[in-house]
Amino acid sequence: MSALLPSDVHPHHYWHYLKKTYGLGDFFYFDVWPVGPPVLIICAPDIADQVTVKQSLNKHPIVKTYLTQHLGDENMASANGPVWKKARTMYNPAFASQHLMTVISKIVDDVLVFHDVLSELAESRKVFEMEATAMKLSFDVIGRLVLGLGLNSQRSSDELVDAFRTQLHYLSSADTFTSPFPSWNPLRQLMIARNSRVIDRCLGRIIDSRFNELDTAGEKHDAKGKCILDKALHTRQADAKGQRICIDQAFRKSTIHQYVHFPTSKRPTNESRIRTFVFAGHDTISTTISMIFYFLSHNPVIREKACTELTSILGPGKGVAVERIQTSPHVLSKMIYNHAVIKEALRLFPPANTVRIGSPSVNITDSSGRQWPTHDWMVWPDSYVLGRDERYFPRADQFIPERYLPDSPFPPVPTGAWRAFERGPRDCIGSEFGMLEIKVVMALTLRDFKFKPAYEEGAPKVDGEKCYQMLFGSAKPKSGVPGRIQRVGNDAIENRID
């Protein structure tokens, strides 16, 4: 199998290959010893819901092992039990619809910079990486939600952004399923530690600056309606019980590394981290934006439908659209067809999966009522495999947003078959925020630009695409989606893509 697929593919390409090649059913067991734990791959929505919705299995230890390289050993993404529940409850308000509407105006500002960047790239006619370009936009936006400031990474080199991005190059990747040796490289471990120190130093400066800004203004550190970082300052104030607070090294480290404050004697071993929000917040969004441009480049009729809807909702031109979004951000909810475009891109190119640890008390039940064990198995409900299954998504390899519309030519998508943000109590806390940002990007750029991928002739393909998924922190597009951009519309620059 490894010889038939490119060496850098994401592991879920293996599971899809096995299911297709051997006609496997709704789930299958696969033992990859000695290079990894035995895996139970789930390929049916009702069975996937058994381990994520009806009974939410804990995250597998391999999740912590992998994320520790980038987020440290105290991160919300791999936490379980009361620690995870406390963190989730604390930060849910920051991702509530009412609060997200208040940051739309700032998102628009960052997307306008992104529009300018694309215009300059169009004029230059140079090949660039769409994912890397969108990543800088996503960092700027998530910086506002999490840190309460603009990083301006689209226009200048930012040490924090550069360190996060560089760190991804040293993370273990898909090759850990075919060879364990890359993770044993001492130079690699040294570079991970170095980048980790840079990230901590940068975040420490931001914490100091944010505290001083609030303190100078004489504000109480009330978390309501503020960024996620302000919640840490609010917790610090509450712990001080009315006394004047200051930022010391211990608190700075706690904010970056624990982020949910507990008395030292009661501090759990796994706690949410500010790094988790910064990393996860930018990662999914940048990938999805780049893939929307990629898929629409191959589907001009669909692109035209999406643009027509934008004009009918937001009016002609970017200027009118900006005004309408800023004055009435709820107008984004009317982007029904564009919403379907986003969902279709996420179906074909899900940026992440959930990986759980089996339990002696939890079995899965097949369609005949027979029970099968999960204990001692890595349980992997694979959104990529599900999204490519003809039973749930007819013409599954084709990009068809209409499948999500009321007048779909296909039967309704079964509950749980589309799970790009996963399901159950551990679904993605930032899914609504991500959809809003992507909609703003589409609203302000889709009508003005066309993208043309520029993969090399003879480049390897997976499932018919040169742009396949790699494990690069999460599921990333091969080579960052290289291509050229072209201005279109009434004010277009004459720079036809050859």
Q: Give the pLDDT confidence score for residue 239 in this predicted structure.
A: 59
> Which sign, positive or negative, has the C-alpha torsion 293, 297, 298, 301?
positive
User: Confidence class of residue 21 from pLDDT cuts 50, 70 and 90?
Assistant: very high
For 439-494, give the DSSP string: HHHHHHHTTTEEEEE-PPTT---BTTBSS-EEEESEEEEGGG-EEEEEE-STT--S
Q: Which residues of 446-455 are buried (b: 16+ CB within 10 A; e: fewer)?
A: bbbbbbebeb
User: Confidence class of residue 78 from pLDDT cuts 50, 70 and 90?
Assistant: confident
User: Confidence class of residue 228 from pLDDT cuts 50, 70 and 90?
Assistant: confident
279, pLDDT greater than 90: no
Average pLDDT (90-110) is: 85
Which CATH superfamily includes the segment(s) 11-487? Cytochrome P450 (1.10.630.10)
Highest mean pLDDT among 166-175, 181-190, 249-258: 181-190
Domain ranges within the chain, ordered by starting residue: 11-487
pLDDT tens digit sequence for 382-434: 999 999 999 999 999 999 999 999 999 999 999 999 999 999 999 988 899 99
Q: Which of 30-44, 99-113, 144-158 has the lowest mean pLDDT?
A: 144-158
pTM: 0.89
Q: What stretch of H or E contains 30?
A: strand 27-30
Q: Give the pLDDT confidence score for residue 260 in this predicted structure.
A: 39
For 191-246, give the DSSP string: HHHHHHHHHHHHHHHHHHHHHHHHHHTT-----TTS-HHHHHHHHHHHHHTTSPP-
pLDDT, mean over the chain? 84
Q: Give the pLDDT confidence score for residue 166 in this predicted structure.
A: 81
β-strands 474-477, 469-472: how paired? antiparallel
Q: Give the pLDDT confidence score for residue 215 in this predicted structure.
A: 64
Q: Which of 123-132, 175-184, 230-239, 437-446 has the lowest mean pLDDT?
A: 175-184
**The residue to which tokens 């208040």 are assigned:** 102
DSSP state of 371: E
Query: How many percent of the chain have pLDDT more than 90?
Result: 52
Question: Helices 274-297 and 431-445: crossing angle, nearest 10°?
Answer: 40
Residue 257, token pair as written in the block: 């590394």
